[in-house]
A and B are shown apart, each in its own frame.
Chain A
Amino acid sequence: MEYLIGIQGPDFVLVAADNVAASSIIQMKHDYDKMFKLSEKILLLCVGEAGDTVQFAEYIQKNVQLYKMRNGYELSPAAAANFTRKNLADYLRSRTPYHVNLLLAGYDEADGPGLYYMDYLSALAKAPFAAHGYGAFLTLSILDRYYRPDLTREEAVDLLKKCLEELNKRFILNLPSFTVRLIDKDGIHDMEKLPIGPK
């Protein structure tokens, strides 16, 4: 039902998430933001079971900020991703596992842009592009076909639009709008919400 996508370029990461908060067959909100700002240059995109997403994401968010307060410097995206994975793994075999699928996107001064794919079994993989949800079945092949490591920002947005158009065309559920954000050395930038009008 929910959809996340991330595309990494040479000096940026582009991420998008749908805006629907649903409960069984009802859309309860049309403008729900599924991205959590962990720090000035790290975003956590989180989908999954109803209460688990916000509870887990806010827990990670507050702990990353606590690290900055205690130590005076921020966690790098790689460190934040591994910290998130460890927490997910620790809860996995407890009485209350968190059923969440995540994308973590960030920009590091030293290592550059990074996109990390994480699923509810706490598998972690650094990838050039990634997607979560049923929509991923339709769009991963588009990313395989057209992705190049040296995409410009405009080309990456066009690739993203290609994916969202495919969802509009073939995905059985209506996902009317998506929040799109771009992370680069200057921080997190909001891009225009993408509703693709009918062609």
Chain B
Amino acid sequence: MALLDVCGISDWVKEDTFSSQKASVDRVNHFNFAALEPELAVPIGVDPAEFLKPFTDCEDGVEGVTIKLKHGTTTLAFKFQHGVMVAVDSRASAGSYVDTQLFKKVIEINPYLLGTMSGSAADCVYWERLLAKECRIYKLRNKERISVSAASKLLANMVANYRGMGLSMGTMICGWDKKGPGLYYVDDNGLRLSGNMFSTGSGNSYAYGVMDSGYRYDLTVPEAYDLAQRAIFHATHRDAYSGGTVNMYHMQETGWIKVSQEDVGELYHRFAAEKK
């Protein structure tokens, strides 16, 4: 599909964003069985309203059900003199059920761009993959890598079109471009902020606490690794919806490197032993 877009073949086909009346094949080439309105198939015997009630705001749960997904996660990123540190937990939860403790919440867009995930896993993976496609096309067209600012603006504008439709995505776009290290926070509201330090997810407040107390711009690399890891660890300790392992990446001038992946249980015993 990306190659088709670059060759301009898709220009022949006039498409609008939501054309439910048109062809039986929708934009992503999935045959939608000639449905006039977008429909969702539900297993027999399941009452959709009851099933979705825990995930919505309203008590009756029928009128205008907007699925509110909790951002069960902690992710953080901060800039310092040697680049950008990115650290995330790895727990994927569905309500009070833990789906997996080994979920990859950092998306490697290209060797110079990373995206973190919080909120709905599906939304994050899909939109950041779409962003990766756009970044690649930019590089092919302009013969130079896209800047972090432009990449984050592309993502923010993409999701702004779906305002109010129930997307759930809180992400940090981190990279290194001509202007040096870059860090942007982008979320499903269309908010886009540039900054030196961000944390997202249900455990973000705990991570901010540890990060803010230990942060200096002139941290050494080992000190920065330690700070990032501890901030996520403390968030997983207090927040029920964060846990699993701490995945850490370091964005340098030559691209990102994956620093470590450590289980929080082992970190707990290591830090407890140090305190004695």
Q: A residues within 8 Å of B by Cβ?
A: 21, 23, 25-26, 28-29, 32, 49-52, 54-55, 95-96
29 contacts between A and B (CB under 8 A): A21-B191, A23-B187, A23-B191, A25-B205, A26-B204, A26-B208, A28-B195, A28-B198, A29-B193, A32-B193, A49-B189, A50-B187, A50-B189, A50-B190, A50-B191, A51-B156, A51-B160, A51-B187, A51-B189, A51-B190, A51-B191, A52-B163, A52-B190, A54-B191, A54-B192, A55-B160, A95-B164, A96-B163, A96-B164
- 0/1 string, B156-174, CB within 8 A of A gives 1: 1000100110000000000
Does B112 have its Cβ within 8 Å of any Cβ on chain A? no
> Chain A contacts of B193 at CB under 8 A?
21, 28-29, 32
Q: B residues within 8 Å of A by Cβ?
A: 156, 160, 163-164, 185, 187, 189-193, 195, 198, 204-205, 208
Q: Which of A26, A28, A51 contacts B163 (CB 8 A)?
A: A51
Taking A28-B198, A50-B191 as given, write out 13 further A-B residue pairs in contact, using a Cβ cutoff of 8 Å, ordered by the A residue number. A23-B187, A28-B193, A49-B189, A50-B187, A50-B189, A50-B190, A51-B156, A51-B187, A51-B189, A51-B191, A54-B190, A55-B160, A96-B163
> Chain A contacts of B198 at CB under 8 A?
28
> Chain B contacts of A23 at CB under 8 A?
187, 191
Return A29 CB to nearest CB of chain B, in Å.
5
Contact A29 to B190, CB < 8 A, known contacts A95-B164, A96-B163: no
> Chain B contacts of A52 at CB under 8 A?
163, 189-190
A36 to B206, CA, bound (A): 33
Question: Which A residue's beta carbon lies closest to that of B205?
Answer: A26
For the residues of A in contact with B, the DSSP-based class is mixed
Return A16 CB to nearest CB of chain B, in Å.
21
Return B19 CB to nearest CB of chain A, in Å.
16
Return B8 CB to nearest CB of chain A, in Å.
26
> Chain B contacts of A28 at CB under 8 A?
185, 193, 195, 198
A169 to B241, CA, bound (A): 38
Question: Which A residue's beta carbon lies closest to that of B198?
Answer: A28
A51 to B205, CA, bound (A): 21
Return A76 CB to nearest CB of chain B, in Å.
29
Return B159 CB to nearest CB of chain A, in Å.
8
A99 to B185, CA, bound (A): 21
B190, A55: Cβ atoms under 8 Å?
Answer: yes
- The 6 A-B pairs with the shortest beta carbon distances in the complex, nearest first, are A51-B190, A50-B189, A51-B189, A50-B191, A51-B191, A29-B195
> Chain A contacts of B163 at CB under 8 A?
51-52, 96
A149 to B51, CA, bound (A): 62
Return B192 CB to nearest CB of chain A, in Å.
7
Return B152 CB to nearest CB of chain A, in Å.
12
> Chain B contacts of A55 at CB under 8 A?
160, 190
> Chain B contacts of A54 at CB under 8 A?
190-192
> Chain A contacts of B185 at CB under 8 A?
28
> Chain B contacts of A49 at CB under 8 A?
189
> Chain B contacts of A26 at CB under 8 A?
204-205, 208
Return B184 CB to nearest CB of chain A, in Å.
11
> Chain B contacts of A50 at CB under 8 A?
187, 189-191
Return B153 CB to nearest CB of chain A, in Å.
10
Return B33 CB to nearest CB of chain A, in Å.
26
Return B258 CB to nearest CB of chain A, in Å.
26
A52 to B191, CA, bound (A): 8
Question: Which A residue's beta carbon lies closest to that of B199?
Answer: A26
A26 to B198, CA, bound (A): 10
> Chain A contacts of B204 at CB under 8 A?
26
A54 to B208, CA, bound (A): 25
A21 to B163, CA, bound (A): 19
A28 to B187, CA, bound (A): 12
A55 to B187, CA, bound (A): 13
A96 to B185, CA, bound (A): 23
> Chain A contacts of B192 at CB under 8 A?
51, 54
Return A162 CB to nearest CB of chain B, in Å.
31
A26 to B204, CA, bound (A): 9
A165 to B65, CA, bound (A): 45
Return B57 CB to nearest CB of chain A, in Å.
15
